[in-house]
Amino acid sequence: MYKSIKGTKDILPAESARWQFVERTLRDIFHRYNYKEIRTPIFEQTSLFARSIGELTDIVGKEMYSFTDRSEESITLRPEGTASVIRSFIQNNLDQIQPLTKVFYIGPMFRQERPQAGRLRQFHQFGAEAAGSPTAETDVEIISLAVEIYRKFGLKNFQLKINSVGDEDCRPRYKELLKKELLKVADKLSPESQKRIEQNPMRVLDSKDERDKELTAGMPLITEYLNEECSVHFERVKALLSTCNIPFVVDGKLVRGLDYYTKTAFEITSTALGSQDALAGGGRYDLLVKELGGKPTPSVGFAAGIERLMMILENNHFEFPEPAPALFLAAADDDSREWIFKRANELRSQGIAVEIDLLARSLKAQMKEADRQNAEFSVVIGKTELQNGTAQLKNLRNHSQKQILLSDLEKELQ
Ligand code: AMP
């Protein structure tokens, strides 16, 4: 028997309505902020991701699903959304259409991670990017959009952490300083962190290892070494968040796993998630568009996992709307089945969701099925009903019923 690949999941018919509801809600919120959807291919040239996400990151170093296709080109299933969006932005000259491009995406991402609770190999993200503005207002629009999504779904125990990771001027200086500090305790750090000291020292601060955490506890933080420009920007972001009543904490150790961030970095976490507690992450990436061959374009964005949002909603017993047939048309005898079959199709083309029996079941079994399908109404059709042109319209939710003309079914159900 075939099984799905480790770390992948089917979204079964019983769950898909929940996904559709979540996606509808997301689209609605994106629309309110005037972000338009972009749909990029799920695979791209491998070098696009290597170049943008960074050769030394976990994603590029060990998690990408890459393969050589039949024309010997190295292809990768997208591990995240931003690189593809920016590739498309440059390729399609989106900057010429308007000075600020605001887009969102929803779709599957692929990373070969060790499968565990909250970590899948095919998972789904939604995210937004605003390309073309250096202002702190843009950072805060992106952050408030992300926060609004969780508020809209009624989440309470989530936290917004923000940091500034500096820019190409102040970050290298800070990195050197941090490197010196880390080298002093290098032999005591975890092997993973030891490897990072040279190339990616800021990631050491972000280590989950308890011993690493202790050793780096008092080390200098980037926020103390920002240059004037980054510092002013960071202060403005904080002030705007306060103005908008968005609670946050500054976490000087927040660096995020991707290389392309400059200035603002943020994460939304939830204690309801366990060890994989990140709901969403994002930040400003002023250098990425140029790095990928476009004109310098200051940009900011975020990405968030749908499975993790779903997990919380389900734990919270969120009341998802469950789609159900409006009407179950049941046959009391075999002679009425043809009439029912035709009538059901007429009603469906009038926009009414109708279910009928396709398994030649008894009336009792049909009524059971109507309940199982959670139909709102049922009508039983037999010889008498067809002769009189009337029937009982039964409300299956409150068990009331009334006599109606069969020709009035549409009217009664609308
Ligand atoms: P990242 O692109 O790594 O910053 O991830 C952004 C968000 O995507 C995270 O906060 C998670 O909610 C989600 N996410 C990332 N990796 C996975 C994964 N392997 N499985 C499920 N969700 C993930």
What is the per-residue DSSP string for 179-212?
Answer: HHHHHHTGGGS-HHHHHHHHH-HHHHHT---HHH
pLDDT tens digits, one per residue of 97-135: 999 999 999 999 999 988 787 899 999 999 999 999 999
User: How would you class 35 by CB atoms within 10 Å of its CB: exposed for 0-12, middle for 13-18, buried for 19 or more?
Assistant: buried
CA of 191 to the centre of ligand 1 (A): 24
Task: Lay out the sheet containing 65-68: strands in order across.
Answer: 43-45, 74-77, 65-68
Query: What confidence tier does 236 reach under pLDDT thresholds 50, 70, 90?
Result: very high
51-60, 324-333, 343-352, 365-374: range with lowest mean pLDDT: 51-60
The DSSP bridge pattern shows strands 249-250 and 401-405 to be unpaired
186-200, 222-236, 290-304, 352-366: range with lowest mean pLDDT: 186-200
Residue 53 near ligand 1, beta carbon < 6 Å:
no
CA of 307 to the centre of ligand 1 (A): 9
Against a cut of 0.75, is the pTM above it?
A: yes
Query: What's the confidence (pLDDT) of residue 116?
Result: 83
- In the chain, the amino acid numbered 323 is P
Phi, psi at residue 282, to the nearest 5°?
Answer: -175, -170
Mention every residue, 6+ apart, whose C-beta is less than 8 A from residue 231.
164
In sequence order, the β-bridge partners of residue 122 are 110
Query: What's the confidence (pLDDT) of residue 412?
Result: 93
Residue whose CA is at the smallest distance from ligand 1 atom 22: 305
CA-CA distance, 129 to 103, in Å (whole number)?
5
Residue whose CA is at the smallest distance from ligand 1 atom 4: 281
- How open is the CA angle 71-75-77, to the nearest 5 degrees? 145
Has residue 258 got a pLDDT over 80? no
Residue 108 near ligand 1, beta carbon < 6 Å:
no
Query: What's the confidence (pLDDT) of residue 308?
Result: 95
Percent of the chain with pLDDT over 70: 99
Tell me whether domains 13-170+226-315 and 327-413 share a fold.
Answer: no
Residue 147 near ligand 1, beta carbon < 6 Å:
no
State the average pLDDT for the chain.
95
In sequence order, the β-bridge partners of residue 402 are 393
218-232, 257-271, 365-379: range with lowest mean pLDDT: 257-271
Max CA-CA distance within the chain?
A: 94
CB 330 within 8 A of CB 362: no
Query: What's the confidence (pLDDT) of residue 272?
Result: 86
Percent of the chain with pLDDT over 90: 90
Residue 146 near ligand 1, beta carbon < 6 Å:
no
Report which of 12, 32, 29 is spatially closest to residue 153, judged by C-alpha positions.
29
pLDDT tens digits, one per residue of 272-305: 888 788 999 999 999 999 999 999 999 999 999 9
Report which of 297, 374, 264, 304 is spatially closest to residue 101, judged by C-alpha positions.
297
- The distance from CA 107 to its chain's CA centroid, rounded to whole angstroms, is 7
CA of 259 to the centre of ligand 1 (A): 16
Residue 310 near ligand 1, beta carbon < 6 Å:
no
Residue 80 near ligand 1, beta carbon < 6 Å:
yes
CA of 227 to the centre of ligand 1 (A): 31
Query: What's the confidence (pLDDT) of residue 257?
Result: 65
Mean pLDDT of 155-164: 95
Residue 359 burial (CB count, 10 A): 7
CA of 305 to the centre of ligand 1 (A): 5
The domain defined by 13-170+226-315 folds into: BirA Bifunctional Protein; domain 2 (3.30.930)
CA of 18 to the centre of ligand 1 (A): 20
CA of 304 to the centre of ligand 1 (A): 6
Residue whose CA is at the smallest distance from ligand 1 atom 15: 305
CB 205 within 8 A of CB 216: yes
Copy the structure tokens of residue 131.
Answer: 């390309």
The CATH code for residues 327-413 is 3.40.50.800
Query: What confidence tier does 8 reach under pLDDT thresholds 50, 70, 90?
Result: very high
Residue 283 near ligand 1, beta carbon < 6 Å:
no
Residue 281 near ligand 1, beta carbon < 6 Å:
yes
- The distance from CA 197 to its chain's CA centroid, rounded to whole angstroms, is 32
Mean pLDDT of 166-191: 94
Give exposure, 100-132, as e/b (b: 16+ Cβ within 10 Å): ebbbbbbbebbbbbeeeebbbbbbbbbbbbbbb
Sequence ranges of the domains in the chain: 13-170+226-315, 327-413
CA of 306 to the centre of ligand 1 (A): 9
CA-CA distance, 256 to 17, in Å (whole number)?
33
The DSSP bridge pattern shows strands 377-381 and 401-405 to be unpaired
CA-CA distance, 267 to 254, in Å (whole number)?
8
Helix-strand-coil percent breakdown of the chain, rounded to 5?
45, 20, 35
Report which of 168, 169, 176, 149 is spatially closest to residue 160, judged by C-alpha positions.
149
Has residue 48 got a pLDDT over 80? yes
Return the best residue to mutate from 82, 124, 125 for the ligand 1 pocket (most ligand atoms within 8 A of CB).
125
Mean pLDDT of 10-38: 97
Query: What's the confidence (pLDDT) of residue 385?
Result: 97
Has residue 139 got a pLDDT over 90? yes
CA-CA distance, 116 to 306, in Å (whole number)?
16
Q: At what angle do helices 306-315 and 13-32 cross, to 10 degrees?
A: 110
CA-CA distance, 374 to 7, in Å (whole number)?
33
Has residue 93 got a pLDDT over 90? yes
Ligand 1 atom closest to 120 (CA): 20
Residue 279 near ligand 1, beta carbon < 6 Å:
yes
Mean pLDDT of 162-186: 94
Return the best residue to mutate from 106, 269, 276 for the ligand 1 pocket (most ligand atoms within 8 A of CB).
276
Residue 113 near ligand 1, beta carbon < 6 Å:
yes
CA of 213 to the centre of ligand 1 (A): 22
pLDDT tens digits, one per residue of 190-223: 998 998 898 889 989 988 899 999 999 999 999 9
